[in-house]
Amino acid sequence: MSSSFAVATSAISTGDRLVEVNDLTVRFVSKDTTIHAVNGVSFTLAAGEVLGILGESGSGKTVTLRALMRLLPEGRTQIGGTVRVAGHDVLGLSPGALSRVRGSTIAMIFQEPMTALDPVYTVGYQIAETVVRHENVSWAEARRRTLDLFEKVQIPSAQRRLDAYPHELSGGLRQRAMIALALSCRPSVLLADEPTTALDATVQIQILLLLRSLQKELGMGVVFVTHDVGVAGEIADKLAIMYAGRFIETGPVTPIMRAPRHPYTEGLLASTVHGAMRGQRLKAIQGSPPNLEILPAACSFAPRCPRVADICLAGVPPEVPTGPDRMARCVRITQN
């Protein structure tokens, strides 16, 4: 990698608070209905830290990430709360200021690079264009930086791949190109939206190891969204378990994996397939997630919870401390 890239990113100090989200809410409003997609999410992220957001499809993970960059359709989206990224009030930025922050301060790796990359331009051109736009360098310098990035993300025959179109690359190479695009302007914060979901197991492991290596080397803060428990355990420093638009358990990854406190977290871990389960029946979570058009006034997980009691229906559970830097939204914890 070129020295210019390394010097610029070294300004990030491990432990600096990069992201502060407080009471984030997202509503999708139409003439007929309102979808309560995110319902009071709060968290902080430090430089050099990886937060994994884990939950079923439809729990609000991707919407939360897109809200951090204001990538949701403005005409029918209502966003509340506060979002600060590297000192910027994201929800209060003008369109021009927001455009400058995206890419240079906060960047995103999308779930499916084939739809995120423009099919009519080469991948090298698309990355170089981003560098020119944000850093006001020549096209020759931007192309050199792009080649450095391709080598950084371990794309073989990097020089030749600069002139390849997205459809000419395999799924794994497209994802590496997407990572290079996200890193092209040296962001402080990287958002990764299930970047390994569409890949086979071998390539998935390679991408995870690459992301973790780059994150440690560059000192970035990373928010990694997934519905795969194994992936979350591999890459995250701390976990946020999401259900019905809320964080229902948070804390360091190892304590949560070893001793989950919320029944939903227990269900997720129990329904994960691993080698020691050969010949055993999978313990799936019964039922389905709630309809977010009608947000429950009680615990959202109560209809599916094996330990539900009358107290669970009295209202939305508050955050209950369960250990150092840990919490769970479950009223039954205080009764155990």
Are residues 22 and 223 in contact, defined by beta-carbon separation less than 8 angstroms?
Answer: no
- Structure pTM? 0.89
pLDDT of res. 117: 92
pLDDT of res. 15: 54
Sheet of strand 77-85: strand arrangement: 34-46, 17-29, 77-85, 88-89
Specify burial of residue 153 (Cβ count, 10 A radius: 0-12, 13-18, 19+). Answer: buried
pLDDT of res. 242: 97
pLDDT of res. 274: 64
d(CA 257, CA 243) in angstroms, rounded, equals 17
Domain assignments of the chain as residue spans, ordered by start:
3-105+187-273+283-289, 124-184
* pLDDT, tens digit, 9 for 90 and up, residues 50-98: 999 999 989 999 999 999 999 999 889 999 999 999 999 999 999 999 9
pLDDT of res. 6: 45
pLDDT one digit per residue (tens) for the chain, 336 residues: 344 444 344 344 445 789 999 999 999 999 889 999 999 999 999 999 999 999 998 999 999 999 999 999 988 999 999 999 999 999 999 999 999 999 889 999 988 888 889 999 999 999 999 999 888 899 999 999 999 999 988 899 999 999 999 999 998 899 899 999 999 988 999 999 988 876 778 888 888 888 888 888 888 999 999 988 888 888 899 999 999 999 999 999 999 999 999 999 999 988 876 656 566 777 788 888 999 998 888 999 999 999 999 999 989 999 999 999 999 999 988 655
CATH superfamily of 3-105+187-273+283-289: P-loop containing nucleotide triphosphate hydrolases (3.40.50.300)
Specify burial of residue 210 (Cβ count, 10 A radius: 0-12, 13-18, 19+). Answer: middle
Beta bridge partners of 330: none
pLDDT of res. 5: 46
pLDDT of res. 19: 96
Are residues 242 and 248 in contact, defined by beta-carbon separation less than 8 angstroms?
Answer: yes
